A and B are shown apart, each in its own frame.
Chain A
Amino acid sequence: MGLRDVAAISGIGETSYRRGEAQGSSLSLTLQASLAAIADAGLYPRDIDGVIPIASGAVVAEDFITNFGIPDLRFSATTPMGGASPVAAIQCAAAAIAAGICRHVLLPIGRTGYSGARISTRVHQMPQFRVVGEFEMPLGGIAPAQLYAPMARRHMELYGTTSRQLAEIAVSTRNHAILNGNAAMTKPITIDDHQDSRMISDPLRLLDCSLESDGGAAVVISAADAARDMRRPRVLISGMAEGHPDSPSVITQRPELTRLGIAKAAPRAFAMAGVTHADIDVAEIYDCFTYIVLCQLEDLGFCAKGEGGAFVEGGALGLGGRLPVNTHGGLLSQAHMAGMNHIVELVRQLRGDGGAAQVAGAEIGLVTGYGDMGDGSIAIMRRG
């Protein structure tokens, strides 16, 4: 039904995320990761006939024709939803493949958020932030941490959610980054370390916040029939959806501050995939801030609204826990690739290539995106 299993991830690629290792402009990093993904798929660059460049603004579809010598690019699009863009692009790619427009769609990202201009303070250059830029930035509401903090504060006031519960997310994510090997953050942290980290914008502490990173990541999405005989085992995309919250551009005016766009998308994706929450072996959940993970767990339906704090306690999101989450270390501790690294990691897990962080027997998993003040995207995948 819908786009179920019409497309598969056939290739994945990443640069190094270790501090100081990735070298080059955002375009160069994008191309490096793209070449790695195309090679992983067993394709040549000129085989790519669709491209959805992610969120950078500096990289456009034409760059791939120029650099890869693509003779006939049949499909290009953008999905401008901030951190929800890469996962939203999965649906876009699958729809284009289902329509017969193209066969192999590249989803690439590259960025210099660590060595270059900080992304967190130049979001206002994006057209989606026009309203915030005019009415809230002059008052001191500058960065995502400040704009999202009132969502977390209201959740705490309404439901008793605590900072120590947010810390659980930071700690399990860091543990996974250490196992991954290709991560910016490699030092173990404890809940007390989180509590001792400096306050950024209450209730969000430094260790509630994601990284700014240099690097690139890319995936190739191919028609499911083509992917059956490609270089690596295919990972089928079984369910997918995007969802936009009420008052999408301004959190201040949102009727329900603790409900994100993914609350609308998740039921559609689960229905399309024909799976239930109990079927999900591993989840890569967009983690620009710890609270955003907790809120998504509720909006995805893993627990009721208000129960996210209790859900994440006791290492529930770690390997061997109730629901292993962000097995690569996420945006919090691996790298901020706007969630493209979450897609890469889900594919790795479902191929059985998760290394020291492999979830035993993982067959079905989900990945989410979150961005632009609350847009959501989700893809449910399975070993093909």
Chain B
Amino acid sequence: MSAAIERPRAEPSPDTQPYWDGLARGEILLQRCAECGKFRHYPRPMCDGCFSFTHTWVAASGAATVHSWTVTHHPFHPFFRAKLPYALVTADLPEGVRVLAPLDGVDPATLRIGLKLRLGVDAEGLPVLRGAE
């Protein structure tokens, strides 16, 4: 009997734990500087605009537009073998940061720069990009 192949995961740090806690509640949390208001992503301790360590966590609106993408056909990790081929999309958010997330329910052949998508959280508590309807 072989153990199930698990999704690769890294240990969150105190700087990043709130982001993962947000995902577990179904929210994509973005850091916003409490001093100057600049958004940043991925989570990190300091604002690169004003060097403040204080920040708030703001749920992303969900609006997203395609920046670029790739469709993976090669199994680089056994966990993802059953999902091949899968599309990973980088998308711009109106908040001013970019996200990377798998594409769900949209034909990758229809992807274009600027195409509107919807950022959400999937059943496993991970970011996902779906059609904007």
0/1 interface trace, chain B 67-95, chain A, CB 8 Å (1 if under):
11111111011001001011010100000
Contacts of A154 in B (CB 8 A): 67-68, 113
- Distance, CA A195 to CA B113, complexed state (A): 24
Q: Write the chain B residue with the least CB distance to A130.
A: B10
Quick check: is B26 within 8 A (CB to CB) of the other chain? no
Q: Do residues B67 and A253 form an inter-chain contact, with CB atoms below 8 A?
A: no
Q: Do residues B71 and A139 form an inter-chain contact, with CB atoms below 8 A?
A: no
Q: Do residues A153 and B70 form an inter-chain contact, with CB atoms below 8 A?
A: yes
How many A-B pairs with Cβ below 8 Å? 104
Contacts of B73 in A (CB 8 A): 198-202
Q: Do residues B98 and A146 form an inter-chain contact, with CB atoms below 8 A?
A: no
Least CB distance, A199 to chain B, in whole angstroms: 4
The 8 Å CB contact of A139, one of B41, B98, B126, is: B126
Contacts of A138 in B (CB 8 A): 7-10, 126
Quick check: is A44 within 8 A (CB to CB) of the other chain? no
Q: Do residues B88 and A200 form an inter-chain contact, with CB atoms below 8 A?
A: no
Q: Write the chain A residue with the least CB distance to B89.
A: A150
The 8 Å CB contact of B69, one of A121, A130, A153, A250, is: A153
Interface size class of A (residues with CB under 8 A): 35 or more
Q: Which residues does A use to contact B, with CB under 8 Å? A: 120-121, 124, 130-131, 133-143, 145-146, 149-151, 153-154, 157-158, 198-204, 250, 252-253, 257
Contacts of B8 in A (CB 8 A): 124, 137-138, 142
Q: Do residues B16 and A134 form an inter-chain contact, with CB atoms below 8 A?
A: yes
Q: Do residues B74 and A135 form an inter-chain contact, with CB atoms below 8 A?
A: no
Least CB distance, A35 to chain B, in whole angstroms: 36
0/1 interface trace, chain B 1-24, chain A, CB 8 Å (1 if under):
000000111111100100000000
Q: Write the chain B residue with the least CB distance to A121.
A: B76
Task: Tell me the interface secondary structure of chain A in the complex.
Answer: helix
Q: Which residues does B use to contact A, with CB under 8 Å? A: 7-13, 16, 41-42, 67-74, 76-77, 80, 83, 85-86, 88, 90, 97-102, 108, 112-113, 126-127
- Distance, CA A252 to CA B7, complexed state (A): 21
Q: Write the chain B residue with the least CB distance to A205.
A: B73
Q: Do residues A257 and B68 form an inter-chain contact, with CB atoms below 8 A?
A: yes
If A151-B68, A154-B67, A253-B98 touch, whether A137 touches B10 (CB-CB below 8 Å) is yes
Contacts of A142 in B (CB 8 A): 8, 76-77, 80
Least CB distance, A359 to chain B, in whole angstroms: 35
Q: Do residues A139 and B97 form an inter-chain contact, with CB atoms below 8 A?
A: no
Among B42, B83, B101, B127, max chain A CB count under 10 A is at B42
Q: Write the chain A residue with the least CB distance to B75.
A: A142
Q: Do residues B72 and A150 form an inter-chain contact, with CB atoms below 8 A?
A: no
- Distance, CA A201 to CA B75, complexed state (A): 10
Q: Do residues B76 and A253 form an inter-chain contact, with CB atoms below 8 A?
A: no
What are 27 A-B pairs with beta-carbon distances under 8 A? A120-B76, A121-B77, A130-B10, A134-B12, A134-B16, A134-B42, A138-B126, A139-B88, A140-B72, A140-B77, A140-B86, A141-B88, A142-B80, A146-B70, A150-B67, A150-B70, A150-B90, A154-B68, A154-B113, A158-B113, A201-B74, A202-B70, A202-B71, A250-B42, A252-B90, A252-B99, A253-B42
- Distance, CA A198 to CA B67, complexed state (A): 25
Q: Do residues B100 and A141 form an inter-chain contact, with CB atoms below 8 A?
A: yes
Which 4 residue pairs are nearest across A and B when measured between Cβ atoms? A149-B70, A150-B68, A154-B68, A142-B76
Least CB distance, A306 to chain B, in whole angstroms: 14
- Distance, CA A87 to CA B70, complexed state (A): 29
Least CB distance, A245 to chain B, in whole angstroms: 14
Least CB distance, A117 to chain B, in whole angstroms: 13
